[in-house]
Structure 1
Amino acid sequence: MSAKQLTLPLDQEQINGLRAGDRVELTGWMYTARDAAHKRMAESLQVGEELPVELVGQTIYYVGPTPAKPGQVIGSAGPTTSSRMDPYTPALLALGLKGMIGKGSRSETVKQAIVQSQAVYFAAIGGAGALIAKTIRAAEMVAYHDLGTEAIYRLEVERFPVIVINDIAGGDLYQQSQSL
C-alpha cells in the first residue's frame, strides 16, 4: 500500500479521508513544540494571552531537534513521547489544531478530543531522527527562543513519513493491533 500524499496545513477534507493505520507523507509547513512550549502555551491561555502562533488547521510535531551541523537545515529530529503533551492537548485542539505527530499512545481524554475536534494523531518512527531530518527543507525558530531545542520552530517538510494512529472516527491503531 502506497502512502497518501497530504499537503500542510491540513484541511478537513484531507482529515476526513484518514483512518487509523494509513501511511501518509506530509509536505508543507508545520510547527514543533515539546513539553516546555506546551506548558508555556497553557499558561498563556490561562491568563488570557494570545499564543505566539496561529493553530487553526496546523500540525504540531513533538520534537526537540538537535542543532544543525554545518551545511544542514536541522540536526536529528526524532519524535518524543506524546503522552507528555496530553494535559495540554484538548485546549489546543479546541483552538483549531488539526494534527499532532509524536510517538506512543494518547490518553482517553485526548482521543475523545481528537474525535470531537475532528483532528488526527500521527506517529513518526522513534529512533529514526537522522532519517526524518532529511525530509525537513527549512527550519526557523518562531517563539520561546529561551527554551532552546524546546522552542517552537516552523518546519518546511517534504514527504515526511507518518502513520495515522488516532482518526476522527475514534480509530486507534495501537488498540487495533493489540486485538490481532
Structure 2
Amino acid sequence: MNRTKKLQPPLTEADVRSLEAGGQVSVTGAVYTARDMAHKRLCELIDAGRELPFELEGAIIYFAGSTPARPGRVIGAAGPTTSSRMDAFSPKVIASGLRAMIGKGYRGAEVREALKEHGAVHLSTIGGAGALLSKHVVSAEVIAFEDLGAGAIQKLNVVDFLAIVAYDCHGKSAYKE
C-alpha cells in the first residue's frame, strides 16, 4: 500500500531522497509559482549573481499561474502548467538549490539528469483541476515580476496539496517511457 508522504518546505536532501517515483505526497507550507518567463528572469538573476526574490535552497516551485480570486476566496483556479515549458531553465534553477517542482507532463533528459545530480524531484498534479487545487491554498501574495500578470511569482501557503512523484532523484519515472 502506498502511503502519502508529508512534505513541509524548505525540503532537505534527505526529504527528497526518501521519495520514489509513483509515490504520493502532501505538501503543507510555502510554495512559489513560476512559469517560463519568471524562470527566464530567475536564471538571469542567477547568472548576474543578484539576489533572488525568494530563497531557492529547499524550495518548491509550482508551475502555475492563477486566475483572479472570486469574492471570499484567496486565489482563483491554480492548475499546473505543462512542465516541459520550463525545461530550458530548470537545470540552472535546480543547481541553485531548488528541491522540488510541481507541474504536469514529461520532463526532458537534461532536467532528469539535473534531478539526479542535485537531489531534486519533479512532482505532478492533475491538469484541469485548478479550481479543486486552489482550495488547498490558504494565502497568496505576488512577490516578484508583477508585470508578468498571471506569470508573476506568487508565494502560496498551501495545506495538504496533493501530488505524485513523477521523477525522483534516483533516475526513476512514474511515466511509461
TM class, shorter-chain normalised?
over 0.9
Query: What does the per-residue CA deviation read over 1:10-60, in whole Å, with 9 as the maximum and x for residues that have no partner?
Result: 122211110000011111111110011011112223333322221000000
CA distance in 2, matches of 1:78, 1:142: 19
Which residue identity lines up with residue 116 of structure 2 in the other structure? V
CA distance in 2, matches of 1:91, 1:45: 8
Gaps of 5+ in 2: none
CA distance in 2, matches of 1:132, 1:78: 7
Query: What does the per-residue CA deviation read over 1:85-138, in whole Å, with 9 as the maximum and x for residues that have no partner?
Result: 011111111110000000011000000000001001000111110000000111
Residue correspondences, number: 176
With normalisation by structure 1, the TM-score equals 0.94
CA distance in 2, matches of 1:19, 1:104: 17
2:85 match: secondary structure: helix
Equivalences for residues 96-107 of structure 1 within 5 A: 96-107=97-108
Q: Is the 8 A contact 1:9 1:30 kept in 2?
A: no
Stretches (4+) displaced over 4 A: none
In the other structure, the counterpart of 2:118 is 117
Q: Is the 8 A contact 1:33 1:150 kept in 2?
A: yes
Say whether 1:87 aligns with 2:88. yes
In the other structure, the counterpart of 2:145 is 144
CA distance in 1, matches of 2:144, 2:82: 21
CA distance in 1, matches of 2:47, 2:161: 33
Gaps of 5+ in 1: none
Comparing 7-16 with 97-106, which one deviates more in the overlay? 7-16
Which residue identity lines up with residue 28 of structure 2 in the other structure? T
CA distance in 2, matches of 1:3, 1:128: 19
CA distance in 1, matches of 2:64, 2:97: 20
Cα offset, 1:9, TM superposition: 1.9
Say whether 1:63 aligns with 2:43. no
1:45 match: secondary structure: helix
CA distance in 1, matches of 2:98, 2:62: 11
In the other structure, the counterpart of 2:34 is 33
With normalisation by structure 2, the TM-score equals 0.95
In the other structure, the counterpart of 1:20 is 21
1:173 match: secondary structure: coil
